[in-house]
Amino acid sequence: MPWQILAAGSLQPSPASPNHKKNRMESQRCRVYGHGVHLASLLPECDLAINYAGHGYISAVMAAGVPMLCVPMHLEQFLLAQRVSQMGAGVCINPDAPPPDYRQLIPSVLANAALKENAQQFSEKYRQFDQAAQMQSITNLIESTAKA
């Protein structure tokens, strides 16, 4: 069975050829979206998520229990990607190091059963998390503190 990999990033179209990069990157096994996508509908089918380590994306992928290959672009993203790596749920690429050989790295990440197991354990641990309830709890705490 072929792997299902979700890669996230940003394509900056050129005015002369807005679909040039998209057309060059798409294939039968790789679809490039020029708009936002609903991650919750894509992640259950993924074996690996490749991303730049944004907070929202990391949160969605961790909640889905999918291992990651993080390619951060900024310090905050690097720190978050390092944490994912320390948790054993993904691999962090150091932006200051020479780029790895992705043709070798991606299959090795996919073959690492521990990454998948750790990502799934995280997902299971927080399966009952309810963001709306958490926000209400924080709001209640702030309001009760302000009244005191």
- pLDDT at 40 (0 to 100): 84
- pLDDT at 55 (0 to 100): 92
Q: Which of 112, 55, 118, 120 is nearest to 88 (CA)?
A: 118
- pLDDT at 131 (0 to 100): 84
As for how many domains the chain has, the answer is 1
Q: Which tokens in the block code for residue 131?
A: 């963001």
What are the tens digits of pLDDT across the range 73-123?
A: 999 999 999 999 999 999 999 999 999 999 899 999 999 999 999 999 999
Q: Which tokens in the block code for residue 6?
A: 């979700």
- pLDDT at 20 (0 to 100): 58
Categorize the per-residue pLDDT at 8 as very low, low, confident or very high, splitting at 50, 70 and 90: low
List the single range of 9-13, 23-27, 71-75, 112-116 with lowest mean pLDDT. Answer: 9-13
- pLDDT at 13 (0 to 100): 52
What are the tens digits of pLDDT across the range 48-81?
A: 998 999 999 999 999 999 999 999 999 999 999 9
How many whole angstroms separate alpha carbon 87 and alpha carbon 27?
Answer: 33
Categorize the per-residue pLDDT at 143 as very low, low, confident or very high, splitting at 50, 70 and 90: very high
- pLDDT at 11 (0 to 100): 47
**Ramachandran assignment for 65, one of left (phi > 0), alpha (psi -120 to 50 degrees), beta (any other):** left
Q: Which residues contact 4 (CB under 8 A, 6 or more apart)?
A: 45, 46, 47, 48
How many residues does the structure list for the chain?
Answer: 148
Residue 77 is part of a domain; what is its CATH number? 3.40.50.2000
How many whole angstroms separate alpha carbon 56 and alpha carbon 67?
Answer: 15
Is the C-alpha dihedral spanning 128, 134, 136, 141 positive or negative?
positive
For the chain, what is the total number of helices (H) and then of strands (E)?
Answer: 7, 4
Residue 80 domain boundaries: 5-147
- pLDDT at 85 (0 to 100): 97
More confident residue, 24 or 132: 132
